[in-house]
Structure 1
C-alpha cells in the first residue's frame, strides 16, 4: 500500500517541487501552504508522515511542529522537518522525529523517508503480532548504550558529552566485543557506531551484522558520521540505523541534539517492546489452557499436523497418546470443582514432565489430555505410554483447603497410536487418522478395566 505523505510548506515553489519529487516515486502526496490548511486536512485524514517546511503565513514551522506534537490524535504520526543544521535541536525539542536540510538531495530525502516509514511499519507489525519475540533486555531503569568509535578518545568524548545529558549507562566496546556480547546475551538497548572504525565503512558492516543477530536485532542503532563522509548517511538509514549524527559532538548544542535523538530512539524501542510483549501474552493466552498451562486444543491439532508433515519429510514415525483420567467425575462430586481443578493442574504437571521438551502435551478438554512425540520408535512409544500412566498414579494429589484438604489418588487410561509415514497419505490426513486410532485405543483401555495402556494395531500411516 502506498504511503500517504502530507507536505506543509508556505513557499509555493518549494511545496510544489517537493510534491513532484515524492509523487515521482509513487507516494500519495497532499500539499498545503499554511498551518490552518494543514490542520484542516488532518481533520479529514491522518497521513503516514508529515513533512514540514517553512514560510507559513500563520506561524513558524517550530510552532506548527509543537502544535502537532501536542495533538493526541497525531501522537503516532512522524514529523520530518526541513530545517538548517543550527535549528536541529530546536526542531527536535518541538517534537520533530528527524530533520533534513531544506536543499536535501533526492537520495538522502528518500532514504530518510523510507527509514521513518519502516520504523512506523515495524511499530504497527508489533501491535498486530507480526514481529518475532524481542531479545531479552533487562537493564532496570537505566538503559545501556554501547559506544563503538574509531578510537578510545572519541568514545570517551561521546560518553562524557552524553552522560551529562542522559540517565543511561554507557559501555565502550570494540566491534568484536560488541558482537561477542550480543551472541552471549549481554545485549544493549542502543548502539552508537562510528561509520569508519578500523577501515572505511566497516561501521556499516557492523550495523548490518548486529541487526541480523537475535541478541541485538531489536536494539536501536545510531550511526556517527564524519563531515567528509556524508555520502554514507543515506546508506546507513537504508541499512536500518534509526538515526545519524555527527561523529564529533564538538558543541553543547550538537551533544544535546544527539542526546535527544538517542532518547527518542530509546523511547520508541521501549514502546515497541511493551507492545510486542503484550502481543506475545495474548498469543500465549490464545494457545494455552489457563488452568493447567498446557497447550489447548486450538494449538494442539495444528501442531499435530505439523509434526505429521515433518515425519513425512524425514520418513520417521511419531507417537500419539490419548489420555483420560479415570472416574474423574467422582472427584468433583465428592470434593468439589476446586479439588477437581487441583487434580487437573497436578496431572498436567506430571504429563509435561514425562513427555519432556521434545514432545507436545495438551489438554483437549475436561479430563482429556494429548501427548505427541516426534521421531519415536515402537519401543520408546510403549515405554512413554506406560511412564505417563505410572506418573499419574505415582502419588496422591494434595487437595486445597477450600475443598476440605487431604489427598486423592487418581489413575489414567492411555490409548497409543504409532504412525510410520507412507507416500500415498497426506500429512494432514495422517494426523487425523493417528488421533482417531489413539482415541479408539483409549476407548479400549477404558472398556478393558481402566488404568492401563492399549496400543492401536500397527499400521503404516493408518
Structure 2
C-alpha cells in the first residue's frame, strides 16, 4: 500500500516542489498551509507521516510540532529546518530534522527509514522471537558503542552518559556479535560507519539486524558528515538514524542525546507491542482453565504433524482421553471441584507428555495427545503412564467444595497412522485419525472404563 505523506508548508512554491518530488517517488501526497488545515488533514486523511517544511502561514515550526504532539501524539514528523533550530524542533516533538537544502536521495532515504520504523512499531514487521528488555535499576536502556577507535568510543560515552540515564558499554564487532548470539544484546547500538575499513560498520549493523538476538534493537550510525552517500546508504540498510562521527560541540551532543532518547523510546514501545502480541497469541492457543493448549491449536498442530509424517514416511499416534464419570463430580461436589480435577489432571498430563508431543484440552473433560514419530508401543506405554498417574493419586478439592480429596480415572483411545493414501489430504487424514481414536475411546468406556484401547488397524487410511 502506498504511504501517505502530509506536506505542511506555508510557502506555495515549497509545497508544490515537495509534492512533485515525493509524488515522483510514488507516495500519496496531501498538503496543508495552515495549522488548522494540518490538524484537519491529520484527522481526515490519516497520513503515515508529516513532512514539515518552512513555517506555516499562521504558526512557526516549533509551535506546529507542539500542537501535533499534544493533539495527535505518536505522529511521525520529519522537519526541514536550519541547524540552529534543530534542537528546539526535536525537543518540540519532531522525529527527525533535515536541512532545507537536503538532496533528494537523502530526503527519500530518511522518509523510507521513518516509514519502515513506523511499520515495525505497529507490529507489521516485528519478530516475536526476542523478549523485551527489562530495566531493574531505573535506567532507560543499554547502549553499545562501537567506534573506529577506543578513544572515540570513550569520548562518546563521556559526552553521552551525563545526558542519558543509560548503561553504556564499549565493544568491538566480534564481541558485539558474540554477545547477541547468547542473548545479551543491547537496546541500541551506536556504530561508526567505518570501523577498521570502509563501510565495515554498515556490514556489522546488517549482521546484527539479521541475528535473532539483536534484530529488534535500535541502530544509529555515526558517519562523516561530508559523506552524504554513506548516511543515505546507512538509512536504507536499516539504521534508525544517522549522527555525525564527531560529537565535540555541545550542540552536537545534545542532538545525539535527543536522537538516542527517541530511539530508545521507540524501542520500548515496540517491546510493549511485542509483549502484547505474544500474550494475545498465547491466549489464542491456550485453554484458560487448565493452561494446556486449546482445541484450535491442537487441530492446527495435528495437521502440521500429519503433513510432516506423510512427507517423511513416518508414523504418529493420536490419544483421546476422557475422565470417567466426570458429570457425577460436578453434580456431587460442584463445578469448583470439577475445575480443580481438570486442572490437576492437566498438570499431570503435561508433565508426562512434556516435549515428546502435544497435549491439549480438547473439550469438556476430554484431552488430546499427539505423538510424532510414535508407534503403537510408544503410544500405549504413554497412555498407560497417564492412566496410572491420574488414577493412583487423588485430587485435593477446594474448601468451597467442602475440602477433602477425590480420586478419578481416565479412559483412553489410541489411533496409529503409518501408511498414507496419496489421494488423502492432510485434513482428511487428521479427521480420520481423530475419528478412529474416538471409536477406540468409546470401546474403552464400554469395556468398563479406566483402560486403554488401541484402534485395531490403520488399514482404513490406505484402502
TM-score by length of 2: 0.95
Q: Distance in 2 between matches of 1:215 and 1:99?
A: 30
Alignment match, 1:137: 133
Give, in whole Å, the separation in 2 of the partners of 1:218 and 1:399: 46
Name 1:276's counterpart in structure 2. Answer: 274
Partner secondary structure for residue 169 of structure 2:
strand
**In 1, are the aligned partners of 2:10 and 2:57 still within 8 Å (CA)?**
yes
CA contact (8 A) 1:89 1:254 kept: no
Cα deviation, residue 176, structure 1: 0.7
Is residue 241 from structure 1 mapped to residue 239 from structure 2 by the alignment? Answer: yes
CA contact 2:83–2:99 (8 Å) conserved in 1: yes
Q: Aligned-pair RMSD on alpha carbons?
A: 1.6
Report the counterpart of residue 8 of structure 1 in structure 2: 8
SS at match of 2:248: coil
Aligned to 2:443: 444
C-alpha displacement of 1:92? 0.5
Aligned partner of 2:348 in structure 1 is 350
Q: Distance in 1 between matches of 2:90 and 2:132?
A: 29
The answer to whether the 8 Å contact 1:192/1:222 transfers is yes
Q: 1:75 corresponds to which residue?
A: 73
Give the Cα separation in 1 of the matches to 2:409 and 2:98: 71
Aligned-pair CA distance for 1:402: 2.3
Q: Is the 2:132–2:275 contact (alpha carbons within 8 Å) kept by the matching residues of 1?
A: no
User: Aligned with 2:246: secondary structure?
Assistant: coil
Give the CA deviation at 1:33.
Answer: 2.7
Give the structure 2 partner of residue 432 of structure 1: 431
**TM-score where L is the length of structure 1:** 0.96
Q: CA deviation at 1:444?
A: 0.1
Deviation sequence 1:388-415 (CA, Å, 0-9, x none): 2112113112222222222111110000
User: Which residue of structure 2 aligns with residue 220 of structure 1?
Assistant: 218
The CA deviation at 1:334 is 2.5
Q: 1:460 to 1:86 in 2, by over 3 A?
A: farther
Paired with 1:372 and 1:8, the residues of 2 have a C-alpha distance of 59
Judge conservation of contact 1:291–1:341 (CA < 8 Å) in 2.
Answer: yes
Which position in structure 2 is the counterpart of 1:311? 309
1:94-173 correspondence runs (5 A): 94-125=92-123, 131-140=127-136, 141-142=138-139, 143-173=141-171
Structure 2 CA distance for aligned equivalents of residues 230 and 57 of structure 1: 32
Q: Give me the whole-angstrom Cα distance separating, in 1, the residues matched to 2:169 and 2:356.
A: 39
Output one character per residue of 1:8-62: Cα deviation in whole Å (capped at 9) or x when no partner: 1222222211110101111111223333432343343221111111143322222
SS at match of 1:457: coil
Distance (Å, rounded) in 2 between the aligned partners of 1:228 and 1:4: 31
Q: Which residue of 1 aligns with 2:417?
A: 419
Q: How many aligned residue pairs are there?
A: 458
Q: Is the CA contact 1:148–1:192 (under 8 Å) kept in the aligned structure 2?
A: yes
Contact in 1 for aligned 2:123/2:273 (Cα 8 Å):
no
Question: What does the per-residue CA deviation read over 1:65-108, in whole Å, with 9 as the maximum and x for residues that have no partner?
Answer: 2211211xx22220100012332211101110001111111211
How do 1:168-317 residues align onto structure 2 when only pairs under 5 Å count?
A: 168-317=166-315
- 1 CA distance for matches of 2:319 and 2:153? 60
Contact residue 296 and residue 362 of structure 1 kept, 8 A = yes
Alpha-carbon distance in 1 for matches of 2:89, 2:419: 65
- Match in the other structure for 1:92: 90
d(CA) in 2 for partners of 1:334 and 1:381? 34
3-state DSSP of counterpart to 1:417: strand
SS at match of 2:287: coil
Aligned 1:364-403 pairs, distance under 5 A = 364-403=362-401
Displacement of 1:133 = 4.2
Range with bigger deviation, 330-339 or 412-421: 330-339
Partner-residue secondary structure (3-state), 2:122: helix
Cα distance in 1, alignment partners of residues 409 and 389 from structure 2: 9
411 and 351 in structure 1: CA distance in 2 versus 1, 3 angstrom threshold: same
Q: CA deviation at 1:119?
A: 1.2
Instruction: Tell me the alpha carbon deviations over residues 331-359 of structure 1, each in whole angstroms, 9 at most, x when there is no partner.
Output: 22232221111111010011111112131
Instruction: Could you list the structure 1 runs, at least 4 aligned residues long, displaced by more than 4 angstroms after superposition.
Output: none
Q: Which runs of 5+ in 2 are unaligned?
A: none
Give the corresponding residue for 1:453.
452
Q: Any idea what SS the aligned residue of 1:245 has?
A: strand
Runs of 5+ in structure 1 lacking a partner? none
Three-state SS of the structure 2 residue aligned to 1:356 is helix
Alpha-carbon contact 2:285-2:294 (below 8 Å) kept: yes
Query: What's the CA shift for 1:136?
Result: 4.3
Check whether the contact 1:430–1:461 (CA below 8 A) recurs between aligned residues: no
> Which stretch has the larger CA shift, 396-405 or 153-162?
396-405
Tell me the distance in 1 between the aligned counterparts of 2:104 and 2:240. 19
- Does the CA contact (< 8 Å) of 1:425 and 1:461 recur in 2? no
